[in-house]
Amino acid sequence: MVFEELKIRHVSIRPAHILAPMAGITDTVFRRFIKQLGGCGLIMTEFVSSEGMLRHNLKSQRYLYYTEEERPITAQIFGADPDHLAEAARMIEDLGFDLIDLNLGCPAKKVVKCGGSGLLRDLPLLQQIFRKIRAAVTIPFTVKIRSGWSDEEIVAAPVARMAEDCGVEAIAVHPRTRMQGYSGRARWDIIAEVKANVRIPVIGNGDVMTPPDAEALHDQTGCDAVMIGRAAPTNPWIFRQMMEYFRSGTYSEPAEADRYELIRSYYAMLVQENMPGAIGKMKQFASWFTHGVRNGAELRRQVQSAQSAREVLDRVDEFFTNILSFPCPAPTA
């Protein structure tokens, strides 16, 4: 089966479907939610600043909270100081994470100034960082990269070779440049080039929105696993759908009742966990989770105008009670 299993040393990722780290999205509630839906073999934290960790920043501590049901789980860090990153890596190992990942892909200006994809322009410094982190921890060490800074500075293959030489055990490739951000098409040929240049596992990422996309990614690149980012908030079932598709050649689309259960369950988890800013999360996710719902614009309006988490839950219940009471009209000839 395509993407059936990936092993990174002793860590088994089965199926080889990975939830990408996404700022403001992949907190512990969303990660557990994805796990419960099924089909996701590995989840990752939001990226955490090594400098914030060393200052014992409360936000960093919150980002690194996880539960046993989330395993296997990776903590992703960013920074540019080799010694500070090494110390942060030791702290992550002490917290019991299964793996540690270095962010070399974030294109945000405030991150690029102190790490992220900005490090792809300083390979000597990056080599120091790889070696320092590798020497600091015994757990598997992976990295996530972009293809380079710009079309004139494509460095994915040489960075991958250097990472392998320094003891990095897997590499995820998002084949857009920092200058592209999230625009344009992901160049899967760069993933194939990386795969041809290293022996460590290569994880493909970028423009996978459906199970057939994941199959095409595998066929065109030979990558060992698929990482899903922006598709997950709009279609949290995608991991389960990929598993269905690779086993049977087909996959099911969620019905409106499934979407109701999805929204209700996620919102209830936010309330139950007493997550900071729960109502803000509800409003943030409303635009994604209502994708494909009849009259979804009205539901989004109701969620956005609610004043409390309890009011959001009541409005969601009322909306879907009405929607599910009236089946879709038959198409006219």
- Find residue 8's DSSP bridge partners: 11
Task: Give the integer Cα–Cα distance in Å for 295 and 293.
Answer: 6
Most distant CA atoms of the chain, gap in Å = 69
Residue 21: CA count within 13 A, CB half-sphere:
26
Q: Is residue 106 annotated as part of the catalytic site, yes or no?
A: yes
H-assigned helices in 277-329 = 278-289, 296-305, 309-325
73-78 and 99-104 beta bridge pairing: parallel
**Per the residue annotation, which of 40, 106, 166, 223 is the catalytic one?**
106
33-37 long-range CB contacts below 8 Å, 24 or more apart?
33/236, 33/265, 33/266, 33/269, 34/232, 34/236, 34/239, 35/69, 35/70, 37/236, 37/237, 37/239, 37/240, 37/262
Is 17 strand, coil or helix?
strand
**How far apart are the C-alpha atoms of 175 and 146, rounded to whole Å?**
5
CB 44 within 8 A of CB 19: yes
Contact in structure between 116 and 104 (CB atoms under 8 Å): yes
Task: Report the alpha-carbon distance of residue 214 to residue 219 in Å, rounded.
Answer: 9
Q: Which residues belong to the active site?
A: 106
